[in-house]
A and B are shown apart, each in its own frame.
Chain A
Amino acid sequence: MVLMLLAAALPARGQEFATFLAALRADSFADKEQAVAALGKLGDGRAVAVLTALKDGRLLKAPDGRVIISQPPNLIDPMTGEVVPDLTADALDRVHINNRLRGAIEGALGELTLFSADPAARLAAARDAVRHPSVDGAVLLEKAIAAEKEADIRAAMQQSLSAARLLSGSKQEKLAAARALGTTTDPQIKNLLDQFRAASESDPELRQAADAALASIKHRLWLVGLLANLFQGVSLGSVLLLAAIGLAITFGVMGVINMAHGEMIMLGAYAAYVCQQVFRAFLPVGWINGYLAAALPVAFLCAGAVGVALERTVIRRLYGRPLETLLATWGVSLILQQTVRSIFGSPNREVANPSWMTGGFDLIGGFTVTWNRVCIIFFCLTVLAALALLLNRTSLGLQMRAVTQNRPMASVMGIRTARIDALTFGLGSGIAGMAGVALSQIGNVSPNLGTIYIVDSFLVVVFGGVGNLLGTFVGALFLGIVNKFLEPVAGAVLGKIVVLVTIILFIQRRPRGLFAPKGRSAEAEA
Chain B
Amino acid sequence: MLKNIRYAVAVAAVIAGMPIAATAQSGDTIKVGVLHSLSGTMAISETTLKDTILMMVDDLNKHGGLLGKKVEAVVVDPASNWPLFAEKARDLLSKDKVAAVFGCWTSVSRKSVLPVFEELNGLLFYPVQYEGEESSNNVFYTGAAPNQQAIPAVEYLMSGEGGSVKRWVLEGTDYVYPRTTNKILEAFLKSKGVPPEDIRVNYTPFGYSDWQTEVAAIKSFASAGKKTAVVSTINGDANVPFYKELANAGIKASDIPVVAFSVGEEELAGIDTKNLVGHLAAWNYFQSVKNPTNEAFIRQWHDFIKDPKRVTNDPMEAHYIGFKMWTHAVEQAGTTDVDAVRQAMYGQKVKAPSGFVEVMNTNHHLSKPVMIGEIQSNGQFDVVWQTKQAIKADAWSPYLAEDKGKVADWSYPWVCGNCTKPKYTN
The residues of B that contact A342 with a CB separation of less than 8 Å are 15, 17
Q: Verify B272–A350 contact, CB threshold 8 A.
A: yes
The residues of B that contact A337 with a CB separation of less than 8 Å are 39
Q: How many A-B residue pairs have CB under 8 A?
A: 191
Query: CB of A411 within 8 A of chain B?
Result: no
Please tell me which stretch of B62-70, B95-103, B129-137, B241-249 contacts chain A, meaning at least 4 of its Cβ atoms lie within 8 angstroms of it.
Answer: B241-249
Q: Verify A338–B202 contact, CB threshold 8 A.
A: no
Query: CB of B240 within 8 A of chain A?
Result: yes
Residues in A353-395 with C-beta less than 8 Å from chain B: 353, 358-360, 366-368, 370-373
Q: Verify B12–A191 contact, CB threshold 8 A.
A: no
Q: Which of B39, B220, B384 is within 8 Å of A187, CB to CB?
A: B220
The residues of A that contact B277 with a CB separation of less than 8 Å are 57
Interface string of A309-352 (1 = CB under 8 A from B): 00000000000000000000000001101110110011111111
The residues of B that contact A443 with a CB separation of less than 8 Å are 209, 240-241, 244
The residues of A that contact B207 with a CB separation of less than 8 Å are 448, 451-452
Please tell me which stretch of B53-61, B119-127, B250-258 contacts chain A, meaning at least 4 of its Cβ atoms lie within 8 angstroms of it.
Answer: B250-258
Q: Which of A99, A445, A493 is within 8 Å of B278, CB to CB?
A: A99
Q: Verify A191–B205 contact, CB threshold 8 A.
A: no
The residues of A that contact B225 with a CB separation of less than 8 Å are 188, 191-192, 194-195
Name the residue of chain A whose CB is nearest to the CB of B221: A187
Q: Verify B376–A57 contact, CB threshold 8 A.
A: yes
The residues of B that contact A372 with a CB separation of less than 8 Å are 244, 248
Name the residue of chain A whose CB is nearest to the CB of B204: A492
- Give bound CA distance, A484 to B43, whole Å: 31
Query: CB of A279 within 8 A of chain B?
Result: no
Name the residue of chain B whose CB is nearest to the CB of A483: B210
The residues of B that contact A335 with a CB separation of less than 8 Å are 12, 15-16
Given A358-B248, A368-B249: A345 and B47 interface contact (C-beta under 8 Å): yes
The residues of B that contact A56 with a CB separation of less than 8 Å are 377
Query: CB of B266 within 8 A of chain A?
Result: yes
Given A99-B254, A339-B15, A443-B244: A492 and B203 interface contact (C-beta under 8 Å): yes
Please tell me which stretch of B211-219, B394-402, B403-411 contacts chain A, meaning at least 4 of its Cβ atoms lie within 8 angstroms of it.
Answer: B211-219
Name the residue of chain A whose CB is nearest to the CB of B46: A346
Given A239-B210, A352-B272, A491-B203: A442 and B16 interface contact (C-beta under 8 Å): no
Q: Verify B374–A373 contact, CB threshold 8 A.
A: no
Residues in B1-46 with C-beta less than 8 Å from chain A: 12, 15-18, 38-41, 43-45
How many of chain B's residues touch chain A, expressed as a range? 35 or more
Interface of A is mostly: helix
Name the residue of chain B whose CB is nearest to the CB of A331: B12
Residues in B131-147 with C-beta less than 8 Å from chain A: none
Query: CB of B339 within 8 A of chain A?
Result: no
Q: Verify B15–A347 contact, CB threshold 8 A.
A: no
Residues in A16-71 with C-beta less than 8 Å from chain B: 29-30, 56-57
- Give bound CA distance, A102 to B208, whole Å: 31
Query: CB of A96 within 8 A of chain B?
Result: yes
Taking the closest CB of chain A, its distance from the CB of B215, in whole angstroms, is: 9
Q: Verify A98–B240 contact, CB threshold 8 A.
A: no
The residues of A that contact B269 with a CB separation of less than 8 Å are 347-348, 350
How many of chain A's residues touch chain B, expressed as a range? 35 or more
Q: Verify B39–A341 contact, CB threshold 8 A.
A: yes
Q: Verify B212–A235 contact, CB threshold 8 A.
A: yes
- Give bound CA distance, A346 to B274, whole Å: 23
Q: Verify B161–A370 contact, CB threshold 8 A.
A: no
- Give bound CA distance, A447 to B37, whole Å: 14
Name the residue of chain A whose CB is nearest to the CB of B223: A187
Query: CB of B84 within 8 A of chain A?
Result: no
Query: CB of A106 within 8 A of chain B?
Result: yes
Query: CB of A13 within 8 A of chain B?
Result: no
- Give bound CA distance, A445 to B237, whole Å: 9
Q: Verify A346–B44 contact, CB threshold 8 A.
A: yes
- Give bound CA distance, A492 to B248, whole Å: 21
Q: Verify B237–A448 contact, CB threshold 8 A.
A: yes
Q: Verify A370–B271 contact, CB threshold 8 A.
A: no
Q: Verify B43–A232 contact, CB threshold 8 A.
A: no
Q: Verify B272–A353 contact, CB threshold 8 A.
A: yes
Given A103-B163, A452-B207: A444 and B248 interface contact (C-beta under 8 Å): no
Query: CB of B174 within 8 A of chain A?
Result: yes
Q: Which of B205, B210, B270 is within 8 Å of A236, CB to CB?
A: B210
Given A191-B223, A334-B16: A348 and B250 interface contact (C-beta under 8 Å): no
Q: Verify A446–B384 contact, CB threshold 8 A.
A: no
The residues of B that contact A57 with a CB separation of less than 8 Å are 277, 376-377
- Give bound CA distance, A370 to B250, whole Å: 9
Residues in A118-149 with C-beta less than 8 Å from chain B: 131
Interface string of B172-185 (1 = CB under 8 A from A): 00100000000000
The residues of B that contact A211 with a CB separation of less than 8 Å are none
**27 cross-chain CB contacts under 8 A:** A96-B384, A98-B278, A98-B374, A100-B254, A103-B255, A106-B252, A192-B225, A335-B12, A335-B16, A339-B15, A339-B16, A341-B43, A342-B15, A347-B269, A348-B271, A352-B274, A358-B247, A366-B223, A368-B250, A370-B249, A371-B248, A373-B212, A442-B244, A442-B245, A445-B270, A447-B43, A448-B40
Interface residues of B (CB under 8 A from A): 12, 15-18, 38-41, 43-45, 47-48, 160-163, 174, 202-205, 207-210, 212-214, 216-217, 219-220, 223-225, 237, 240-241, 244-245, 247-250, 252-255, 257, 266-267, 269-272, 274-275, 277-278, 280, 374, 376-377, 382, 384-385
A339-B17, A341-B43, A370-B249 are known contacts; what are 20 more A-B pairs with Cβ within 8 Å? A29-B384, A99-B278, A100-B161, A106-B254, A187-B220, A187-B223, A239-B209, A335-B15, A342-B17, A347-B48, A348-B270, A350-B269, A352-B274, A358-B275, A359-B247, A366-B220, A446-B237, A448-B44, A451-B41, A488-B217
Top 3 A-B residue pairs of the complex, sorted by shortest distance between their CB atoms: A348-B270, A352-B272, A187-B223
